[in-house]
């Protein structure tokens, strides 16, 4: 199935309803987008992100994790009902309607395959917000910690303290290339930092339907990337 973050998909023009829905909150203007910091030391990768990159951090942490069995707890929010994918990982209760037209489900599993949980991230993207904490069965140290609440809109988006993942570094370069940087072929590094700026240049109103939910946006995505002290800025234009 695979995983590619919605902001990377938008940059490459791969826009479906789920990707579109992620940008509904933006009016015209320039806005801070999500941010990521990755540090690699002694074979361990530590991933820290702002809100809206927690799904990438969770997925990459699980895919690279050497421990096969984990426990998971937390909350998932969705823009549509995601009960069917919860059932696939053994959750007895489905998603319920919550505030602002979203769906919500609590997740508490004492044991699940790490690979199976990674598949949940793949199936849920990009329509779900994954506020999940993960700990290997064989360890008392959490490998993935995410804050419990969705932050207020456009507040603290650039602080890379919303989600933290710790995992094996061997595969992390390939996973980051697949999940967030599909236009790049990342090689081994010690430190990577990335932040996005979103510029909505024009809002295209629909002829029919809900103006807020169905309007499209002509968008410029600016990506500031620094790898081991080498900086680059990339610009992508798209309609979402």
Strands 128-136 and 44-49: unpaired
Strands 69-78 and 191-204: unpaired
Residue 223 neighbours by CB distance under 10 Å: 20
Q: What are phi and psi of 44, to 5 degrees?
A: -115, 135
Q: What is the distance between the alpha carbons of residues 153 and 139, in angstroms, rounded to a whole number?
A: 35
Where does the chain show beta strands of DSSP type E? Answer: 29-41, 44-49, 69-78, 96-97, 103-113, 128-136, 144-146, 163-168, 191-204, 216-227, 230-239
Residue 118 neighbours by CB distance under 10 Å: 21
What pLDDT, on a 0 to 100 scale, did the predictor assign at position 157? 59
Strands 69-78 and 103-113: antiparallel
Alpha helices in 67-210 (DSSP H): 83-88, 114-124, 172-179
Q: What is the distance between the alpha carbons of residues 21 and 6, in angstroms, rounded to a whole number?
A: 10
Positive or negative torsion for Cα 14, 145, 84, 89 = positive
Residue by residue, pLDDT tens for the chain (240 residues) are 789 999 999 999 999 999 999 999 999 999 999 999 999 999 999 999 999 999 999 999 999 988 899 999 999 999 999 999 999 888 878 889 887 789 999 999 999 999 999 999 999 999 999 999 999 998 877 799 999 998 877 655 578 999 999 999 999 999 999 999 999 999 999 999 999 999 999 999 998 888 989 999 999 999 999 999 999 999 999 999
What pLDDT, on a 0 to 100 scale, did the predictor assign at position 138? 86
Question: What are the residues whose beta carbons fall under 8 Å from the beta carbon of 162, sequence distance 6 or more?
Answer: 49, 50, 51, 53, 54, 146, 147, 151, 156
């Amino acid at each position: 199935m695979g995983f590619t973050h919605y902001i990377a998909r938008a940059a490459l023009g791969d826009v479906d309803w789920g990707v579109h829905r992620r940008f509904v909150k933006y009016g015209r203007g320039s806005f801070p987008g999500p941010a990521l910091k990755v540090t690699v030391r002694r074979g361990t990768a530590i991933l820290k992100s702002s809100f809206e990159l927690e799904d990438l951090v969770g997925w990459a942490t699980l895919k690279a994790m050497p421990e096969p069995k984990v426990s998971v707890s937390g909350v998932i929010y969705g823009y549509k009902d995601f009960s069917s994918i919860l059932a696939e990982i053994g959750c007895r209760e489905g998603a319920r309607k919550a505030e602002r037209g979203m769906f919500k489900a609590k997740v508490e599993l004492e044991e699940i395959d790490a690979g199976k949980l990674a598949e949940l991230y793949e199936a849920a993207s990009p329509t779900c917000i994954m506020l999940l904490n993960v700990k290997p069965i064989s360890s008392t140290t959490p490998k993935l910690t995410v804050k419990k609440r969705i932050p207020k809109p456009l507040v603290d988006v650039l602080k890379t303290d919303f989600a933290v993942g710790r995992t094996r570094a061997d595969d992390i370069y390939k996973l980051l290339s697949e999940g967030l940087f599909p236009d790049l072929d990342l090689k081994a590094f010690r430190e990577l930092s990335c932040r996005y700026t979103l510029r909505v240049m024009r809002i295209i109103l629909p002829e029919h339907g809900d103006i807020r939910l169905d309007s499209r946006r002509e968008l410029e995505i600016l990506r500031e990337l620094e790898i081991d002290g080498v900086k680059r800025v990339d610009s992508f234009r798209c309609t979402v």
